[in-house]
Amino acid sequence: MQITLITGDITVQRVDAVVNAANSRMRGGGGVDGAIHAAGGPAILADCVARFPDGLPTGQAGWTTAGELPARWVIHVVGPNRHAGQTDRGLLTSCYANALAVADQLEVATLAVPLISAGVYGWPIDDAARAAVETLRRTPSDVVETRLVAFNHAAETALRAALDDV
């Protein structure tokens, strides 16, 4: 799999699927989740309600339509919230591994991925970047290209360092 780094808006990526850093309720929220729901429109929320009536556990992944996004699907993952005591790094890495598993089920060739849990969920950005790169590089997948989409300069710097080191 080719891993590329870009800085920008994940909602404008022309890929088969975008990964959403969702909350466990699967009803939209802030950050990446809010941006994806806003740009994709009400179809994403309607599909979340239909597919995930009880939400989704931390570390797990599921998919919905992408609504008005240029992607075909949204792969939702629930990252660990360090502020709520979820400090097991395995929960974070499972987000990426499970997103790739769902991507393979959907026969996704191109995937856009944000840095999960490094925003309001409080995961240290450098470790979040290393967890992303390590997991994407070590998890077997049929995905051809994964774009790591940095939302700001700090995320870009952390992801670039992880790509160089891991």
Q: Which residues of 27-64 are buried (b: 16+ CB within 10 A; e: fewer)?
A: ebbebbbebbbebbeebbbebbeeebeebbebbbbbbb
With pLDDT > 90 as the criterion, what percentage of the chain qualifies? 99
pLDDT in tens, 50-104: 999 999 999 999 999 999 999 999 999 999 999 999 999 999 999 999 999 999 9
Of residues 9, 33, 104, 164, which has the active-site annotation?
Answer: 33
Is the sign of the CA dihedral 164, 118, 94, 146 positive or negative? negative
Q: So what's the pLDDT on residue 166?
A: 81
CATH number at residue 121: 3.40.220.10
Alpha-carbon distance of 51 to 62, in angstroms, equals 9
**Dist CA 72 CA 98 (whole Å):** 18
**49 in helix, strand or coil?**
helix
The pLDDT, as a whole number, for residue 151 is 93
Residue 124 CB neighbour total at 10 angstroms? 13
- Taking 90 as the threshold, does the pLDDT of residue 128 lie above it? yes
Confidence (pTM): 0.97
Q: How confident is the model at residue 20 (pLDDT cuts 50, 70, 90)?
A: very high
Query: What's the number of CA atoms in the CB half-sphere (13 Å) around residue 86?
Result: 18
* Residues linked to residue 73 through DSSP beta bridges, in sequence order: 17, 65
Name the strand (E) or helix (H) holding 119: none
For residue 165, indicate whether it is catalytic: no
- Token readout for 94 is 């499972």
Q: What is the mean pLDDT of residues 119-134?
A: 97
The interaxial angle of helices 125-138 and 89-105, nearest 10 deg, is 40
Instruction: Please count the structural domains in the chain.
Output: 1
**Average pLDDT taken over every residue of the chain:** 97
Domain with 18 in it: 2-165
Calculate helix-pair angle for 31-40, 42-51, nearest 10 degrees.
Answer: 110
